Amino acid sequence: MIEFDVSPITTQIALVLLLLSLALTLIKVKNRLFASKPLRFYAVASLNVIAVMTLAAWLSNLSITHPYEQSAMLDSEQHGDPSVVLLNHPNLTSLTLKGYGLRAAQWLPFTGVKLEHQPPKLEAGPVELSWNRQLLLGNRFTIAGRYQNSNVNGIVTVKLLDPAGTVIAQTRIKNHQTFQLTDTPKAMGNYNYRLNVVSEKNELLNDEVIPLVVSKAPAAKILVVQSAPSFESKHLKNWASSQGASLLILTTISKDKFITNSVNMAEDTPRQFTPELLNDFDLTIMDGRALINLSSVHQQWLNQAVDQGLGLYVMADDDLIKVADLPETELPEIVSSFSFEPIKGLQIGRSLTIPNWSGNHSELAFDLMPYIIDAEQGELLLAGSKKRQLSVLKSKGKGKVAVSILKGRYRWLLNGNLQTYSHYWQRLLSRMARVRSDSRFIAQAKNELNVTSLRSEICVLSDKQGLKLSVDDKVLNLSSDSVNPYRHCAFYWPQQAGWQRYVLSDVDGNELDTTARYTFSPQQWQSWQQSQRLSDTADFITQNKQRATAPAVQDYDYQPVNALWYWWMLVVCGSLLWLERKVG
């Protein structure tokens, strides 16, 4: 369809003048040529008419219209922004999809569009991967996933390689079977493990990167209140202080006589059992006798401190259990919900158990108190062999209280197993100690797959204002969560694969926290990416079916004619007319 605009008065005047000049020119040409050369006359007249019409079209803004197409095809394997389809087809109602599809964030602009998709077969490789991206030094990391290969029913070997390229764990699995491999990173920093999948013929099928960030969190402050000197506190003090933690050990040595032993503490920190002291520490460790010997005022202070976030770890002993057993006595309120049920036939010194938790390889047996420990609304903190509950944890206010019947934890040290000993206490501290209120990055999700050019989200926790988040010196916009005002998130589209460094700083530019994240290229973890895209696309199709689509609206696209056409037409006509005069 053609349209033109002659509404302006100047256009109308110009058109009229053009017509007049055409008429006069034709008359003159007729007088000159018609009688002697009629053919030439017709040619010249045609050229004049064409030239005038070209000018008239130019003046009246001639444009061509065509209706918008409502359906389109998208090949998701082509690089580039898929939402460009919407630019070319603004009223798109139906989309035929080729390839594995898009991620959930990429489907957002296509809401309401009917999608037809024939998903292709997935490439062979690991899918549904998950692992902890950020660890503390000494923690164990576990990578889990599933291997899928639609073409083969054989057996493959999945190997985990450390940053030195050494195979540290491997497992043989069948198609569609899950796998789990673990290791304990040896040093802090950002580095890459690798996951290899090898066929039965020893051909390398997949070689993927597993990025990991190992960091060191701020050291805890530990308060130990004990009724007598013990090896337990001695070894705990030696280990924790050598790793930078602050400790205060209050030991009763006689009636109203105490030894106060502090390590790595500031001089102005209080040394007396006061509410200020309790609020200054992250975890308090007490033996049962020390707890029951606290005065009612001290117990009240302890209660309040735990409600405010302090962790309390009680090592049960005979005195505590006797108080629990005797009907005329009752446990201190803070542990009143714990119960101790004797196990018949067990005696102290003859009851052994092997504590086990994720990451523990030691099979050293420990003595334990022959009781079954439990608590209302409690959760298991540490289990032993034969399903023994060795430590039980209960939340109280913002803090936590735990009671343990395990004895002699320092025996790991005496057996030369510092790793297990330190891991035990680190695990306990991270579960029980006071939550720090420092501004920090929120850990990345275990199954997150950040790919270049796709949207990534990064969030921080902070109670400060005016925060600034930058990635490789580019500043990102942080916005607060609507539900949790201390949670702030930013979106980012990384353009390069590899490690990126994120820095959180306050309004004065002081660095609050740093972290690193790895972005994969589209060529890495292909089977996993395809699997995620297929899953997101299937979700999108399902959601779209539930939405009613708007009726089709016919619309048009107006495109003005390119001015060059006019220019060349005039030049050609003018040249031919000039030539005719010269020849004539």
Partner 1 sequence: MSKQIFALLLRRSRYTVILERGLLLLAIIAVYWALYSEVSALYYSWFSGLCLGGILYFIGFKGQQQWTKITLVNLAEHLNRHFAQLEESSRLLLESSTNTSVLQRLQRQKIEQAFAALYSQGLLVKSLPSMRYKAPALLVLVGVIIHFIPLENDAEEHFNPPSLQAITITVTPPAYTGLPQSKFSEGDIEIIEGSQVQWQLLMSEPNGQYSLLFGENSLLELVYQEQSNQYVATKTITKTGLYRITDLPGVYSVSVIKDKKPKVRIVEPNRSLVELPKSSEAKFTAKALVSDDFGLTKVEILASVAKGSGESVKFRDEVFEFDNHSITKQGELYSKAWDLNALGMEPGDEVYFTVVAHDNKAVEAQEGRSGTVIVRWLDDEEQGITAEGILINYVTEYFRSQRQIIIETEQLLVDKDSLTAEQFSQTSTSLGYSQSDLKQRYGQYLGDEFGESTSEQFDGGDAIEVEHEEEHEHEDPQAHGVSEGEGNAKAVIAQFAHAHEDIHVGEVSSQNPKAMMKKAVSIMWQAEAHLLQSEPELALPFEKQAYKYLKLAKQAERIYVKRLGFEPPPVSEDKRLTGELTDIKSYSRDTQAREINDSDDELFRRVFTLLNKLQSTLNTEQKQHLDKLKTRLTELAETRPGLIRQAATIERILLGNSVELTDCDECLLKLKQKLWQLVTSPVSHPVAGQQSYLNADAVIGDYIQRVQK
In the list 46, 150, 260, 523, the residue contacting partner 1 (rule: CB under 8 A) is 260
136 sits near partner 1 (criterion: CB under 8 A): yes
Closest CA to 150 of 119, 120, 121: 121
Total binding residues for partner 1 by CB under 8 A?
Answer: 97
Torsions phi, psi for 142 (to 5 deg): -125, 130
Question: Exactly one of 309, 452, 453, 569 binds partner 1 (CB under 8 A); which one?
Answer: 309
Does residue 413 belong to the site contacting partner 1 (CB under 8 A)?
no
Nearest C-alpha neighbor of 309 from the set 220, 215, 425, 379: 220
Strand pairing class (311-315; 399-404):
parallel
Q: Note whether 300 binds partner 1 by CB under 8 A.
A: no
- According to the binding rule CB under 8 A, does residue 581 interact with partner 1? no
Does 253 engage in binding with partner 1 (CB under 8 A)? Answer: yes
* x-or-dash string of contact with partner 1, 355-394, rule CB under 8 A: --------x-x-----------x-------xx--------
How far is Cα of residue 562 from the mean position of the Cα atoms in its chain? 49
Interface with partner 1, residue 202, by CB under 8 A: no
Among residues 502, 501, 512, 458, which one has the least CA distance to residue 481?
458
Angle at 306 (CA atoms; ends 303, 312), nearest 5 degrees: 100
Span interacting with partner 1, options 88-96, 328-336, 345-353, 468-476, rule CB under 8 A: 345-353
Residues ≥6 apart with Cβ < 8 Å to 420:
360, 361, 362, 364, 412
Q: Does residue number 201 form part of the binding site for partner 1 (CB under 8 A)?
A: no
- The yes or no reply on residue 326 touching partner 1 (CB under 8 A) is no
| Site pattern 106..135 for partner 1 (x: CB under 8 A) | ------------------------------
How many CB atoms within 10 Å of residue 410?
Answer: 18
Q: According to the binding rule CB under 8 A, does residue 560 interact with partner 1? A: no
Q: Could you say whether residue 152 binds partner 1 (CB under 8 A)?
A: no
Residue 61 binds to partner 1 (criterion: CB under 8 A) = no
Q: Which of 222, 286, 290, 324 touches partner 1 by CB under 8 A?
A: 222
Nearest Cα to 275, choosing from 307, 253, 243? 307
**2 near partner 1, judged by CB under 8 A:** no
Span from 15-23, 194-202, 337-345, 472-480 in contact with partner 1 (CB under 8 A): 337-345
| CA distances from residue 35 to 28, 30, 578, 580, 582 in whole angstroms, order as listed | 12, 8, 21, 16, 19
Of 134, 136, 92, give the one whose Cα is nearest residue 110: 92
How many alpha carbons fall within 13 Å on the CB side of residue 517?
A: 26
**Listed residue (562, 567, 560, 558) closest to 54, CA to CA:** 567
What count of other Cβ atoms lies within 10 Å of the Cβ of residue 494?
20
C-beta of 101 vs 359, nearer to partner 1 = 359
Segment 472 to 501, residues that bind partner 1, using CB under 8 A: 483-486, 499
User: Does residue number 239 form part of the binding site for partner 1 (CB under 8 A)?
Assistant: yes
Under rule CB under 8 A, residue 242 binds partner 1? yes
For partner 1, which residue of 67, 90, 189, 560 counts as binding (CB under 8 A)? 189
